[in-house]
């Protein structure tokens, strides 16, 4: 029986994938907005190779899976030689394997060479999910993201050269009220400069356990209201030009769910957002209880 170390997270699009928990937690684990993996309760480690192989053996005997998501928070941090061994073993045990995806952070990518990434692509690594969160340098420093604008652009160019798809996540509201517009404009520009195949916009949820929660309690961080978050979404989309990509803001955290193919659906989606901003009709928005957000009183 496969035993997962909890909590365990995966993108919604990996719901039908076999989750191979090759690492526990997140190696960076400094982002102030994140309560997913906290070093106080879940120390980062890479599972031993024999343990990983045993998990793959058990899964391959009981399930004919063709998709794998390698967890946890940023599995691309695994040293290249060991990651190659894991992926080769997956391919040998799962003859119908179609794709391997994982979370990554910018530092993970930059520590590898393009040739290393090409090897991973040949072994089935189709896409990595990266939390950009913001393109604003001040916000990135505040939230302790661990990567700046230039590093993010450079890492994404490496992925494109290697043929690995990029699913970039951005976070509405993470700039607070004071950096809301700067955050939105810079994030749109970053998405244009990196040109990911997929963009997922989420809205910040302030949760106990995340350092930003204490900042909010002390009045050092003010979360934009729902219409300001939708305004951020408008500004980001206005300033985002994708060669051929998908833009999703249909995560449960968002007040206004949208999904669009860029560039052809861009203007249609902008008009939908602007109509909501003009009318300010809350009945068309998701209620707060769907977001499970902490309300301010």
* Sign of the dihedral through C-alpha 100, 253, 170, 75: negative
Query: What pLDDT, on a 0 to 100 scale, did the predictor assign at position 295?
Result: 38
Query: What pLDDT, on a 0 to 100 scale, did the predictor assign at position 43?
Result: 81
The rounded distance, in Å, linking the Cα atoms of 125 and 42 is: 27
The rounded distance, in Å, linking the Cα atoms of 286 and 258 is: 12
How many residues belong to the chain? 297
Per-residue pLDDT for the chain (297 aa), expressed as one digit of tens each? 577 776 777 888 898 899 999 999 888 888 999 887 666 666 889 999 999 999 999 988 877 789 999 998 899 999 999 999 999 999 999 888 999 999 999 999 999 999 999 999 999 999 999 999 999 999 999 999 999 999 999 999 999 999 999 999 999 999 999 999 999 999 999 999 999 999 999 999 998 889 999 999 999 999 999 999 999 999 999 999 999 999 999 888 999 999 999 999 999 999 999 999 999 988 889 887 666 544 332
Give the residue carrying structure tokens 């860029």.
262
* CA-to-CA dists, residue 182 to 189, 223, 283, angstroms: 11, 15, 29
* Sign of the dihedral through C-alpha 235, 238, 242, 248: positive
Residue 126 — φ and ψ, nearest 5°?
-90, -40
Cα Rg, the chain, nearest whole Å: 19
Q: Quote the pTM value.
A: 0.92
User: In the chain, what are the domain boundaries?
Assistant: 12-280
Residue 93 — φ and ψ, nearest 5°?
-85, -25
Residue 273 belongs to what H/E stretch?
Answer: helix 266-279
Which CATH number is correct for 12-280, 3.40.50.720, 3.20.20.70, 3.40.1030.10, 3.30.70.3270? 3.20.20.70
Query: What pLDDT, on a 0 to 100 scale, did the predictor assign at position 293?
Result: 44
């Amino acid at each position: 029986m496969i035993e997962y170390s909890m909590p365990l997270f995966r993108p919604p699009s990996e719901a039908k994938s076999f989750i191979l928990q090759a690492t526990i937690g997140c190696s960076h684990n400094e982002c102030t907005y994140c309560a997913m993996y906290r070093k106080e309760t879940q120390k980062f480690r890479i599972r031993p190779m024999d343990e990983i192989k045993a998990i793959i053996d058990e899964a391959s005997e009981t399930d004919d899976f063709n998709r794998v998501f390698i967890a946890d928070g940023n599995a691309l941090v695994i040293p290249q030689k060991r990651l190659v061994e894991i992926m080769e073993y997956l391919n040998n045990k799962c003859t119908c394997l179609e794709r391997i995806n994982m979370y990554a952070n910018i530092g993970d990518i930059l520590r590898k060479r393009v040739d290393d990434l090409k090897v991973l692509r040949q072994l089935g690594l189709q896409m990595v999910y990266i939390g950009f969160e913001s393109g604003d340098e001040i916000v990135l420093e505040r939230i302790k993201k661990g990567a700046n604008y230039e590093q993010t652009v450079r890492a994404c160019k490496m992925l494109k050269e290697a043929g690995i798809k990029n699913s970039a996540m951005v976070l509405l509201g993470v700039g607070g009220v004071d950096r809301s517009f700067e955050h939105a404009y810079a994030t749109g520009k970053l998405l244009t400069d990196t040109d990911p195949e997929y963009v997922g916009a989420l809205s910040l949820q302030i949760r106990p356990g995340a350092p930003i929660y204490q900042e909010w309690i002390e009045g050092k961080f003010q979360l934009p209201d729902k219409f300001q978050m939708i305004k951020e979404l408008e500004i980001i989309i206005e300033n985002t030009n994708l060669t051929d990509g998908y833009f999703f803001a249909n995560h449960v955290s968002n007040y206004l769910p949208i999904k669009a193919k860029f560039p052809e659906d861009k203007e249609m989606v902008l008009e939908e957002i602007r109509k909501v901003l003009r009318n300010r009709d809350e009945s068309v928005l998701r209620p707060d209880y769907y977001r499970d957000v902490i309300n301010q009183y």
